[in-house]
Amino acid sequence: MKRVVYARRGGLEAIEIVEEEDPTPTADQVRIEVHRAGINFADLMMRQGLYGAAPDFPFTPGYEVSGIVREVGENVEDFAVGDRVVAFSGFGGYAEQVVVDTKQVWPLPESISFDAAAAMPVTYLTAHHMLVYLGNFKPGDSILVHHAAGGVGTATAQLARALEAGSVYGTASANKAEFVESQGMIHIPRGEDFAKRIKSEIGGVHHALDPVGGKHIMDSYRALRNGGRLYVFGASSAVKGPKRSMLKALKMWWDTPRFDPIRMMNSNKSVYGIHMGMWKDEDVVRKQMVSLAKMLELGHIDPVIDSVYRFEDVAAAQQHIHDRGNRGKVLLDFSPK
Ligand SMILES: NC(=O)c1ccc[n+]([C@@H]2O[C@H](COP(=O)([O-])OP(=O)(O)OC[C@H]3O[C@@H](n4cnc5c(N)ncnc54)[C@H](OP(=O)(O)O)[C@@H]3O)[C@@H](O)[C@H]2O)c1
């Protein structure tokens, strides 16, 4: 089987494809023939050595896959060879075959495509975890989300609709206005003073989802209403392009605000830090995945796929995201030819 490897820290030239024996599942694992693997922005940051939770180089990225079970470990009862499944692969999902603990695997009904399944786990879980699990989301609540046209952005817009949200503001590059509006969000071009506009239009949002980091965090905090919640869940402003820019990364850290709890108390605003890759309580994740799977089956959510690249073209796929070209999720096709 073939798998994608980040041979070393670097730009797109650090990506290699290696060939090796298929992995063997342990007693509680299944081996999945991968049909689709999701690309997440974090994968790009890992390649640049800007992602704290990544393994040492060389390693294979890839948090999520969909495919078909081809082998089961001796203790496995819930899955059989031939089952269609979706899984959290931890790392290592950019491969033709992966072995995964069955706790991280879910059955996939025939009605759900491999594309939709691989596009769902990270983005929807992250948005759901912030709004519903942490955020005590209520119908009518207003939301601000950045990178609104991307994976988490479009997932947030769909969850917002399913949860009967009030106004949903989405910042994104100016050329994505039409797409963002088509997803039911109010588009604010990247770089505009979104906090000022939101304050003047609705007095502030209940939930602000910030994956940008640096000084942007404080702008999102300013956009909250009394009682509002800010979720800090990324640091995309540390990234300049395919190659690592230490200056950009250091600036992001330098500009990161330090919050004063007394001022937060007086304004009734809360700040959460979220890293799903480091979330420890598996039950919380499973319960949310079950409810998301149900929403997917009922058609209440339907992941937006920007594009599917053959895995041999993984560098082009990541370049497309670096270029801010994606509208929705970018996937890799590992299905047998
Ligand atoms: N903490 C967690 O558990 C967690 C989980 C999932 C995702 N995240 C974070 O959420 C964010 C969105 O993730 P995603 O996977 O859904 O990605 P995505 O939004 O599809 O990422 C691509 C988009 O991000 C925007 N962007 C912002 N800064 C960029 C930069 N420096 N280079 C290229 N594009 C940039 C671009 O859109 P515009 O130009 O239109 O803004 C681009 O099209 C990322 O920061 C990611 O790390 C965190």
Residue 70 DSSP SS3: strand
For the entire predicted model, the pTM comes to: 0.97
Find the residues whose C-beta lies inside 6 A of ligand 1: 40-42, 122-123, 126, 147, 149-153, 172-173, 176, 190, 211, 233-234, 236, 239, 274-277, 321-322, 324, 326
Residue 65 DSSP SS3: strand
Residue-range definition of the domain harbouring residue 68 = 2-120+303-333
What's the domain count of the chain?
Answer: 2
- Specify whether 104 is located in the same domain as 138: no
Q: Which residue lies with its CA nearest to atom 35 of ligand 1? A: 324
- Specify whether 136 is located in the same domain as 272: yes
- Mean local confidence (pLDDT), 294-300: 93
Q: Which residue lies with its CA nearest to atom 43 of ligand 1? A: 324
pLDDT band at 53, cuts 50/70/90? Answer: confident
Give residue-wise pLDDT tens across range 92-122.
Answer: 999 999 999 999 999 999 999 999 999 999 9
Closest CA to 93 of 3, 195, 186: 3
What spacing in Å lies between the alpha carbon of 147 and ligand 1's midpoint?
6
Give residue-wise pLDDT tens across range 136-157.
Answer: 999 999 999 999 999 999 999 9
Q: Where are the beta strands (DSSP E) in 128-287?
A: 143-145, 168-172, 186-189, 205-210, 224-232, 270-273
Look at residue 97 and tell me if it is in a domain: yes
- Specify whether 103 is located in the same domain as 192: no
CATH code: domain of residue 228: 3.40.50.720
